[in-house]
Amino acid sequence: MDILSSYLYARPSLIEGVARIIDVGNTLEQYNTSLTSEQADYLALLSDWLVVGHDLNKAMAEYKEVEYQINDTLIAQAREALAEAQI
């Protein structure tokens, strides 16, 4: 899980994780806090858009890589066809 998509939740330690198993009343549940609700909304929206931007950059890089591979394959095939035609 990305740190940007889970920043509102406090990351428990191993001991807290074990303690949560026997915490019947859910008293150990903790969240990170913000000074105001507007700040919390801003940070949540910002982190959402940062994750979307990261995903878009990753998708565009993968597309570009595939495009280069296809172009290289087509160029190699065209060169082979020209070489065969010259024979």
- 10 Å CB burial of residue 74 (0-12, 13-18, 19+) is exposed
Residue written as tokens 């990261």?
A: 54
pTM above 0.85, yes or no: no
DSSP 26: -
pLDDT tens-digit profile of 25-83? 777 776 677 889 899 889 889 988 998 999 999 999 999 999 888 888 888 888 888 88
The residue among 47, 50, 9, 13 whose CA lies nearest residue 31 is 9
Q: What's at 14, amino acid-wise?
A: L
